[in-house]
Structure 1
Amino acid sequence: MSMVPWNPFSELETLLDRYQRLSGKSTQSPSGREAMKVNDWSPAVDISETAEEYLIKAELPEIRKEDVKVTVEEGVLTIQGERKYESEDKNRKHHRVERFYGSFARSFHLPEDTDTSAIRAEFADGMLNLHLPKMEKPTSRSVEIDIS
């Protein structure tokens, strides 16, 4: 088991993120401008690692793969898309709507050893699996230099 440094602000960030997701509000800067854009919702992800690759699993239920876009730019992987609200049925009364609809985006800074040219994406049963292979790290070798 590897040691993870404790970040005292991570719990505060998690609490703020939950508040923003539930209330649909954004963080305002002192000038009144929007300091951080908050999407309509944000899919849950799991990130794991093996010796060969990193794996990002994103839950995207009831979303078509055509409505999802994955990009990598300057070491940042972004998953974005939209879950569309079901059309209104005049014969149906909704008693509770708890699922999130609308646009979403999640971004992740990639580790330096990620081979961005070989990323694979699989989409099945509402799960997006992104396989991010690792590159071989160059081995440092010791070379003796003759002094003349």
Structure 2
Amino acid sequence: MKALTRWNPFREMEELERRMSALLNWRPFGRQTMTLVEDEDITVPEWSPLVDIVEDEKEYLIKVELPEVQKDDVRVTVEGGTLTISGERKAEKEQKGRRFHRIERYYGRFERSFAIPDDAEADNVKAEFKDGVLRVHLPKSEKARPKQIEVQVA
């Protein structure tokens, strides 16, 4: 007699991924791995900086983690209702007498794009970069901000 089991529509895909990974040391739906030292995998994530988006009554604030990225290597653009943050984290150059035993952080170009809300003033975007964090300020239009209405006594 067979036991009842819950059907998982992704079980076949997960099994296929597991077999491909074992066969080719390849992760089609996740992180890529590279073997630099025998019997040791190094995981290299896709390069997409982490972002927090915060809203208050005056503005939207986008905070982007960009450790070891230089200010001159970051670009913020607004075009066609889209805010795009792009740039590059450059790899360390090899120096005589130094060997890398492990390289897990990703270097290279990145790009993140966000739709600009209708109540934001795209022409007044400001950006500042400090301590490895990019802060992009997107002010709300005056008419979109909440207004306090005084209640009159009749």
- TM-score w.r.t. the length of structure 2 is 0.63
Q: CA deviation at 1:115?
A: 0.2
Match for residue 137 of structure 1?
A: 144
CA offsets, 1:20-46, max 9 Å, x none?
Answer: xx329xxxxxxxxxxxxxxx6111110
Number of aligned positions between the proteins:
105
Q: CA deviation at 1:90?
A: 3.5
CA offsets, 1:47-77, max 9 Å, x none?
Answer: 0100110000001111111110100111110
CA distance in 2: counterparts of 1:90 and 1:100, whole angstroms: 22
Match for residue 121 of structure 1?
A: 127
CA distance in 2: counterparts of 1:110 and 1:43, whole angstroms: 19
Q: Secondary structure of 1:96's partner?
A: coil
Corresponding position: 1:23 with 2:32: yes
Among the aligned pairs, what percent are the same residue? 55
Match for residue 80 of structure 1?
A: 86
| 1:67 aligned to which of 57, 70, 73 | 73
> Counterparts in 2 of 1:78-117, with a 5 A limit?
78-117=84-123
Corresponding letter in the other structure for 1:127: V
Corresponding letter in the other structure for 1:126: G
CA distance in 1: counterparts of 2:104 and 2:81, whole angstroms: 34
More displaced stretch, 92-101 vs 102-111: 92-101
Q: Secondary structure of 2:78's partner?
A: strand
Larger Rg, first or second structure (1 or 2) = 2
- Structure 2: 5+ residue stretches without partners: 1-28, 34-45, 146-154
Corresponding letter in the other structure for 1:77: L
Tell me the C-alpha RMSD between the 2 structures: 2.1
Corresponding position: 1:50 with 2:86: no
Q: Secondary structure of 1:86's partner?
A: coil
4+ residue stretches of structure 1 with deviation over 6 A? none
CA offsets, 1:91-139, max 9 Å, x none?
Answer: 112121111100000000111111011111010111100010011239x
Q: Secondary structure of 2:94's partner?
A: coil
CA distance in 2: counterparts of 1:131 and 1:23, whole angstroms: 34
CA distance in 1: counterparts of 2:112 and 2:56, whole angstroms: 22
